[in-house]
Amino acid sequence: MTVYACCQTNVVSVKPDATVQFVAKLMRDKNIGCVVVTDNHQPVGIVTDRDIALRSETLCGEPESALIEGIMTRDLKTIRKDTGIFDAIQEMKASGIRRMPIVDQGGRLVGLLTVDDLIRLLAREMADIARIIGKESPAL
């Protein structure tokens, strides 16, 4: 199974010149924990609600005018949409990240894979295995 088969495809993204205040309101209104920062549809950064909470006070200026590029994580790990789930898990584990933007062959944002997505997938798989084992086990 590829990462694209189980990732979120309705990813909220903003441009680097969006204000911190705008992004914070967007995240609150959409009840999301992160936003991918894109330039010409290609991921250039990611911002989480934690980033906003911890890094906003270090900005020069007010949140109304401070740009999101000032607090976004720039050393962004992305993964191609045709990558297998196991490879994605290994990359996320090795990098210590909980969210990874999914890109197409041209590097354009097409999805977002999160640890929560992987946990849901694994839970479904385990439930399927339990059903199969239950059917095969003789009744006592």
For the segment 80-106, the average pLDDT, to the nearest whole number, is 95
Mean pLDDT estimate for the chain:
90
Q: What is the pLDDT of residue 121?
A: 87
What pTM was computed for the model? 0.84
Q: What is the pLDDT of residue 58?
A: 66
Judged against a pLDDT cut of 90, whether residue 99 lies above it is answered with yes
For the segment 87-92, the average pLDDT, to the nearest whole number, is 95
As for how many domains the chain has, the answer is 1
Q: What is the pLDDT of residue 138?
A: 67
- Between 132 and 85, name the one with better pLDDT: 85
Judged against a pLDDT cut of 80, whether residue 129 lies above it is answered with yes
For the segment 64-69, the average pLDDT, to the nearest whole number, is 85
Q: Using only the alpha carbons of the chain, give its radius of gyration.
A: 18
CB atoms within 10 A of CB 118: 18
| pLDDT bucket at 73, cuts 50 / 70 / 90 | very high
Q: What is the pLDDT of residue 124?
A: 85
Separation of first and last alpha carbons in the chain: 36
15-48 pLDDT tens trace:
999 999 999 999 999 999 999 999 999 999 999 9
Judged against a pLDDT cut of 70, whether residue 53 lies above it is answered with yes
Q: What is the CATH number of the domain that holds 52?
A: 3.10.580.10
Enclosing domain of residue 71: 3-136
Long-range CB contact pairs, 97-104, < 8 A, 24+ = 99/34, 99/46, 99/48, 100/3, 101/11, 101/36, 101/43, 101/46, 101/76, 102/3, 102/4, 102/7, 102/78, 103/42, 103/43, 103/78, 103/79, 104/80
